[in-house]
Amino acid sequence: MSNESVNSGAAKAVRSRYSEVQSAARFPVKLPIHLKSQAGESDTESDNISANGVHFHHDVDMPIGSTVDFTISLPAEVVGADADVKVECRGRVVRSNEHEGRRGVGVVIDEYRFERR
């Protein structure tokens, strides 16, 4: 098999995964997010969440393909717990754009785990 075939297959897999991320139902849920990336740490809020990822606004440029660690806080009253539930995630930036002076970032979630107390 030639390198071209291998690269073409890899590119198709990435496009397929991106299509899968894009096609998942999105829910307009505003949840607090704590970000840790190459640019440092900061806090923001989700614009929408799907089974595959999250979209939020962020002032710092996050290049497509870059890795980001983040924690999503699920409010105690929503999940029926005594305290907020934290979901620690690792993902990759798959979309970054600017619209009307605000930078939107789409991140696919590659790994997640619920924080235990």
Q: Give the DSSP letter string of 5-28.
A: HHHHHHHHHHHHHHHHHHHS--B-
Please state the domain count of the chain.
1
pTM (predicted TM-score): 0.75
94 belongs to a structural domain:
yes
Residue 86's DSSP bridge partners are: 73
Q: What is the mean pLDDT of residues 21-29?
A: 79
110 belongs to a structural domain:
yes
- The C-alpha atoms of residue 20 and residue 6 are separated, in whole angstroms, by 21
Q: What is the mean pLDDT of residues 33-53?
A: 91
43 belongs to a structural domain:
yes
21 belongs to a structural domain:
no
101 belongs to a structural domain:
yes
75 belongs to a structural domain:
yes
Q: How many CB atoms lie within 10 A of CB 37?
A: 19
17 belongs to a structural domain:
no
5 belongs to a structural domain:
no
- 77-95 confidence digits (pLDDT tens): 988 999 999 999 999 999 9
Q: Is the pLDDT score of 45 beyond 90?
A: yes
Q: Which residue has the higher pLDDT, 74 or 4?
A: 74
CATH number for the domain harbouring residue 77: 2.40.10.220
Q: Is the pLDDT score of 10 beyond 50?
A: no
Task: Note down the domain range covering 59.
Answer: 26-114
